[in-house]
A and B are shown apart, each in its own frame.
Chain A
């Protein structure tokens, strides 16, 4: 064992044992972030904070929630919402937080796409981010089932049914997921386990991995500029703070994030207290009833775009049924963002608006996703079904065209 001399201060005592001084340097005061960034770079910290809110409020809910089909609904809507002191507050924070986390994830993702932060060394940041997106989707879906309302039940029914379309193993897979032939108590208890234990653990792991993946390539900046971080850090440490292109994570970067966080929280709490129906669907305040199909079944808003890709194919093409086509398109839509770094063949790391072809692709994609989201909620009848079909096709076409568009862009800009 190393020789320990008597510590003169508490800090020193801990430093001897845990190396805290160095740790704080590496993680905070000498973790370098480009200076040239806007508030969109605060989304990651917002997500971290929202995830913390979700964990804390979730723990409070867990103290009173009962994962049993006969008790779940009342344990949420009576015990938590009306009996327990401030139980309603925790539920509102949890439900609204779960919805808003997706809003911020989407902003975060599309910021990454807009600024090209997924390529040229940043591929693993992107992949770990997509992993987080998938885990959050699973978390959102499993959590929505827990209050055991009508929408919990029927969304669970419809979404688990999707797996039945997978060839050969489909039917058995559905039973395996549900733990029964229909959505039932066994489905509720297993989704409860996933929601409160397995997926959160995986998310925490994925967040650590995401942060680690940021370490070597460093975060991107507003102009997509590449520079020598060590060089710039030296300047900063030497006191040339104004000249240096970097700032330390603490306190400089975080001071800006806190400011963004403050105003974001104002918006968030407004939603929590006064405008929460978008996150807590009124239909879900009717208790689950397997014999009474609601007039309209739709998933939470953040799944609507991919749900619409699934529904968009409603007729047979070349002998393949609409259902199978929809399922294939749905699989494509959910997997395609993962390989985005390899679909973009242009070397440019620049904001989309400075890229000659990519900018059209980007804004087309945004418009298409909004159309898909809106039509994903509307009843798929008449003209709506055709809008769904057209926007689903557009979605597929956009991703199939991306390698060609970006290749052409690469040629045009010539390796810049």
Chain B
């Protein structure tokens, strides 16, 4: 009985200390932020209830977008090699094959209308800065035309099945122009020097970010980097919740590849230890019955 009392005192002291240095300190150093907004409801430049016409969208895309963007799955290859594209635009314009699937519809329409405000980069591209976002704003198009483009991009997006391949493809499409994933052998399509000049900061290799930042942080950060890293040059990329989950799942596959093994082995080791503890207890009872 007395030993249980001692155990309870120790558990209480250790518990208080643990609470202070882990959950409490974490809460103080990383205050909760507004929940992620996957409907991008502050973007209202384009009326997204309009039904788009993919045929018409195709014409508009051919006229306006493929000078910069490849759409491999629709038969539009890149006009120039990555190094040249990076030199021209600062960053390699992403292939738009999966854009109709990975970007939220409302975000995508508003991005085409005005990329800077959709990406939350007004802080970087102020009139005084003299900087110009490399992709033009299509605010001269009618909402209908923009929705036609969106409809077209959605129509060319290939059907995907859930799994590793898709996770990887989503990561490459959404983040691959800026970030390396060294532990998967993936290099950003844009060369480092161009990125540094274009972004003002080198985008980090994301191999271990699932560990260093954790899922909770990434969930908010990727949805809107400004919320957690105010003033950062990393753009809001406008992924749907599903696509963002795929990206984070990929980061986990690469950064914490032994997770499944760890968790299943853990159960067995604990079971084994439990059996050891019970046997040790029985042995102790037997031995001590002779001396007490």
Contacts and interface: CB of A to CB of B under 8 A. Distances in A.
Contacts of B2: 38
A265 B20 contact: no
Contacts of A374: 17, 20-21, 24-25
Nearest to A276: B262
Interface string B16-33: 111011101100110000
B77 interface: no
Nearest to A305: B17
A241 B258 contact: no
Given A370-B13, A374-B24, A266 B270 contact: yes
A265 B277 contact: yes
A378 B273 CA distance: 36
A295 interface: yes
Contacts of A261: 280
B290 interface: yes
B288 A256 contact: yes
B196 to A, nearest CB: 13
A174 to B, nearest CB: 28
Contacts of A89: 262, 265
Interface in B245-292: 257-258, 261-263, 265-266, 269-270, 273-274, 276-281, 283-284, 287-288, 290-292
Interface string A87-130: 01100100000000001000100000000000000000000000
A255 B266 contact: no
B284 A272 contact: no
B273 A269 contact: yes
Interface string A4-46: 0000000000000000000000000000000100111000000
A181 interface: no
A282 B26 CA distance: 11
Contact of A295 (B29, B214, B263, B283): B29
Contacts of A74: 182
A278 B22 contact: yes
Contacts, number: 131
B14 interface: yes
Contact of B211 (A92, A282, A366): A282
A251 B20 contact: no
A262 B16 CA distance: 24
A296 interface: yes
B212 A282 contact: yes
Given A269-B269, A377-B25, A285 B212 contact: yes
Interface in A242-300: 242, 244, 247, 251-252, 255-256, 258-259, 261-263, 265-266, 269-270, 272-274, 277-278, 282-287, 295-296
A283 B16 CA distance: 23
A184 interface: no
A35 B265 CA distance: 38
A334 interface: no
B21 to A, nearest CB: 5
Interface stretch (A75-83, A157-165, A186-194, A213-221): A75-83
B291 A262 contact: no
Given A278-B22, A282-B213, A366-B13, A379 B287 contact: no
Contacts of A379: 28-29
Interface in B41-86: none
B25 A255 contact: no
A89 B268 CA distance: 13
Interface string B157-184: 0000000000000000000000000110
B6 interface: yes
A308 to B, nearest CB: 11
B7 interface: yes
Given A38-B2, A374-B25, A272 B277 contact: no
Dominant SS at the B interface? helix
Given A258-B283, A259-B284, A38 B3 contact: yes
Contact of B276 (A92, A255, A265, A373): A265
Nearest to B214: A282
A402 interface: no
A304 B24 CA distance: 15
Interface centre among A259, A266, A379 (most CB of B within 10 A): A259
Contact of A373 (B20, B262, B273, B290): B20
B291 A242 contact: yes
Interface in B216-262: 257-258, 261-262
B36 interface: no
Nearest to A150: B212
A273 B17 contact: no
A361 interface: no
A185 B183 CA distance: 23
A314 interface: no
B119 to A, nearest CB: 24
A88 B24 CA distance: 28
B183 to A, nearest CB: 5
Contact of B269 (A244, A259, A273, A286): A273
B17 A263 contact: no
B117 interface: no
Nearest to A284: B212
A278 B266 contact: no
Interface in A363-416: 366, 370, 373-374, 377-379
Contacts of A256: 284, 287-288
B208 interface: yes
B186 interface: no
B197 interface: no
Given A263-B277, A285-B208, A258 B284 contact: yes
A193 B197 CA distance: 40
10 contacts: A74-B182, A252-B288, A255-B280, A255-B283, A262-B281, A265-B277, A269-B273, A273-B270, A278-B22, A374-B24
Given A252-B291, A256-B288, A374-B17, 6 more contacts: A78-B207, A259-B284, A269-B269, A273-B265, A273-B266, A370-B13
Q: 7 closest A-B pairs (Cβ-Cβ)?
A: A262-B277, A273-B266, A374-B20, A285-B212, A285-B211, A259-B284, A258-B280
